[in-house]
Homo-oligomer: A and B are copies of this chain.
């Protein structure tokens, strides 16, 4: 067996909504989740930066004993998945494999839509036009994509069920009334699903792609025996940001208590091991050598 645990990589804690769907579908598998929360959000970053960050995170998950990594972040999946696959899994039988969320999400939207799909995501996801391209491969559907950069911060603030959320969603879906399917292409948005359903017209199906990603993964595992050993539903969680903040947000995303969150330090812009760093209050004075003159 090449791997003993399935890796799930996300730019922060949003991917825990995907992990929630994966664990519900595959309760006998062990997972290790890496959230790059110290550098989140990725949404406004340039492509080169996203490639660098995603290489580091995927390599860390390989180190953790993963032969299979699921990129749960829509931004990374839209921008960097092909690069990651060519770099780490160039052959059909490469000992490591990397899967994303874009294609399962696109397939699910196409299977549900009568002809017009609306896609909401981060600025970077939408600018990549990856959903337009992937949906175009599957059928003649019309696609209307729109960046909704305020929605993830609203979820992070815990304001999903607020008038602020309802008004923001109403602004973002303005003019999308002819769509019959609204794809939530950001891992934060499933927490807004109920609010979306309140705001959009009744004929619009609001689609959280998480369950479709889980079904696709189940099918992949069945077709690729030997990549991942079954386990006992264990979960480890790593993050590059502040673990306690991560835990607080993460439990809402996962819909369940999180195990102790392990901190992965960022040193000179790269992931590294080290002990958890306490966040000091007040101004920070760090011992340092004199700078070059």
Q: What are 21 residue pairs bridging A and B, where the CB atoms are less than 8 Å apart in the complex? A: A38-B45, A38-B49, A39-B39, A46-B241, A52-B268, A80-B283, A82-B283, A82-B285, A83-B288, A88-B291, A128-B281, A128-B282, A128-B283, A149-B153, A149-B156, A149-B157, A150-B150, A150-B164, A163-B167, A268-B270, A269-B270
**A260 CB-CB contact with B under 8 Å:** no
Chain B positions within 8 Å of A88 at CB level: 291
Q: Does A16 contact B (CB under 8 A)?
A: no
Q: Which of chain A's residues 263-287 have a Cβ closer than 8 Å to chain B?
A: 266, 268-270, 277, 279-286
Q: How far is the CB of A269 from chain B (nearest CB, A)?
A: 1
Interface residues on A, range: 35 or more
Bound together, the chains give a CA A183 to CA B48 distance in angstroms of 38
A91→B286 CA distance, assembly (Å): 17
- Let me know if A79 and B291 touch, CB within 8 A: no
Query: CA A277 – CA B47 in complex, angstroms?
Result: 9
A242 touches B284 (CB 8 A): no
Cβ contact of A283, chosen from B79, B164, B242, B290, cutoff 8 A: B79
Docked Cα-Cα span, A288 to B157, in Å, equals 39
Residue pair B266, A268 in contact (C-beta under 8 Å): no
Min C-beta distance of A82 to chain B, whole Å:
4
Those of A231-282 within 8 Å (CB) of chain B: 241-242, 245, 266, 268-270, 277, 279-282
